[in-house]
Amino acid sequence: MAEVSCFHASIEWPWAEIDPQSHIKWNGRRSFGMSPDSSGWIMSLFKTDPEPWNLHVGDSCLVGIPETLVRIIDIGRYDPPQDVGWLPRPHTMLVVVPADYPDEALSEDDGDTIDLESAALVSIELVSQS
């Protein structure tokens, strides 16, 4: 655990490294909300174990994606790969929301991304197509 505040817990992200050539100054961390109802953090596919609100600076935690049914709401394909602040730069990213997330509630900031070239171990299975 790298940093904890009353709003978020930041962990060192193990599946990417800082891109020294990037125009985006990513700090190598990913933040998680400090309560299950934290606005803006609901959409993260990644979860910590223990939960972020039970973590303190210096703690270790597991990070992963529990089995989750999602709906793809956008696909980004980038040539050249997108400058996102980390390496490897992604060629293809899926933007997803929980499968039961209502369409009328969607905004452009909703969803989480799945970087298909990431070093994070992600298994994807197609369940249905619209």
* Domain that includes residue 47, residue range: 3-115
Considering the domain boundaries, does residue 10 fall inside one? yes
Inside any domain, residue 126: no
Residue 125: inside a domain: no
Interval 108-125: pLDDT, tens? 677 888 888 887 878 888
Assess if residue 124 is contained within a domain: no
Q: Is 90 within a domain?
A: yes
pLDDT at position 37 is 66
Task: State pLDDT tens for residues 80-111.
Answer: 999 999 999 999 999 998 888 888 877 767 78
Tokens of 65: 């994606």
Nearest to 96 by CA among 15, 42, 22, 33: 42
- Domain count along the chain: 1
Binned at pLDDT 50, 70 and 90, residue 43 comes out as: low
Residue 31, domain member (yes or no): yes
**Number of other residues whose CB lies within 10 A of the CB of residue 19:** 17
| 120, part of any domain | no
Within a domain: 108: yes
